[in-house]
């Protein structure tokens, strides 16, 4: 894809200029096709989608030439290869045409300015993407922190549920022990009453154990 001089004496790149931040082609469509094939050494498909408009396209890029003589790079997936080709051709035209040195110098400066604009736009795009990535990473970090906090809270809830379950189990055991103690107390009281009655002490406490015997004694 290197640049070279045309195969005949005609300098086709003299029809290429850079004006008002746009590339211009002031030759014919046939001369434009020869310029792409001979000067730029590029092969692709030419078609005319509408009157006065010609399109040169490949898998990587597409260039349109309009009635207003504007030459527009509408697509380029090769890191601005097409833009570089056109700017190099302008530079070669400066070297080959001394009679138009001032005009060509202006074109090269304009093309260089366009290149600077593209670089600045590219840098801004990269910076925007970096800011977006940093924001995404910050959001992910916050999400990770929230997930850790949620995990810690869940563990605390699990611990509280375990402690609650343990306390409920202890309370149930204490309740059973209290009931057992109450039953043992009741049994001891009854035993004491029996001993008292058997010893002949028929008082009011004996009536619950030997009611009939106590009546006879009374």
Which tokens hold the place of 52? Answer: 């006065």
CA distance 204 to 123: 108
- What would the mean pLDDT of 199-210 be, rounded to a whole number? 58
pLDDT in the model for residue 170: 93
Q: Which domains does the chain have, with CATH numbers?
A: 12-96 (3.30.310)
- What would the mean pLDDT of 60-73 be, rounded to a whole number? 84
Residue 4 DSSP symbol = -
pLDDT in the model for residue 178: 93
Instruction: Pick the more confident residue, 31 or 197.
Output: 31
Report CA-CA distances (Å) from 74 to 48, 65, 66, 118, 164: 15, 10, 12, 14, 71
Band of pLDDT at residue 115, cut at 50, 70 and 90: low
Report CA-CA distances (Å) from 1 to 8, 42, 43, 81: 19, 7, 10, 9
Instruction: Pick the more confident residue, 123 or 176.
Output: 176
Q: Report the predicted TM-score, pTM, of the whole model to 2 decimal places.
A: 0.41
Band of pLDDT at residue 6, cut at 50, 70 and 90: very low
- The share of the chain scoring above pLDDT 70, in percent, equals 71
CA distance 1 to 20: 28
- What would the mean pLDDT of 191-210 be, rounded to a whole number? 65
- Is the confidence at residue 58, as pLDDT, over 50? yes
- The share of the chain scoring above pLDDT 90, in percent, equals 5
pLDDT in the model for residue 41: 87
pLDDT in the model for residue 46: 92
- Is the confidence at residue 101, as pLDDT, over 50? no
- Is the confidence at residue 100, as pLDDT, over 50? no
- What would the mean pLDDT of 9-25 be, rounded to a whole number? 82
- What would the mean pLDDT of 145-164 be, rounded to a whole number? 88
Average pLDDT of the chain is 77
Angle, helix 81-96 to helix 101-198, in steps of 10 degrees: 160
CA 120, distance to chain mean position in Å, is 25
pLDDT in tens, 155-200: 888 989 899 888 998 999 898 989 899 888 888 888 877 777 766 6
Contact 94, 105 (CB under 8 A): yes
pLDDT in the model for residue 7: 46
Instruction: Pick the more confident residue, 3 or 69.
Output: 69
């Amino acid at each position: 894809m290197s640049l070279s001089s045309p195969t005949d004496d005609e300098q086709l790149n003299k029809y290429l200029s850079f004006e008002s931040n746009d590339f211009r082609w002031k030759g014919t469509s046939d001369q434009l096709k020869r310029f792409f094939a001979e000067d730029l050494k590029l092969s692709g498909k030419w078609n005319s989608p509408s009157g006065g408009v010609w399109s040169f396209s490949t898998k990587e890029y597409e260039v349109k030439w309009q009635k207003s003589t504007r030459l527009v790079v509408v697509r380029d997936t090769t890191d601005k290869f097409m833009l570089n080709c056109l700017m190099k051709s302008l530079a070669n035209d400066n070297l080959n045409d001394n009679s138009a040195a001032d005009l060509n110098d202006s074109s090269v400066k304009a093309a260089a300015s366009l290149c600077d604009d593209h670089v600045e736009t590219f840098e801004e795009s990269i910076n925007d993407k970096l800011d977006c990535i940093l924001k995404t990473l910050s959001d992910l970090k916050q999400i990770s922190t929230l997930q850790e906090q949620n995990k810690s809270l869940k563990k605390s809830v699990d611990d509280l549920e375990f402690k609650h379950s343990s306390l409920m189990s202890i309370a149930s055991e204490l309740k059973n022990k209290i009931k057992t103690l109450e039953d043992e107390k009741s049994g001891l009281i009854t035993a004491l009453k029996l001993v008292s009655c058997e010893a002949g002490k028929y008082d009011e406490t004996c009536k619950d154990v030997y009611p009939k015997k106590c009546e006879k004694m009374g």
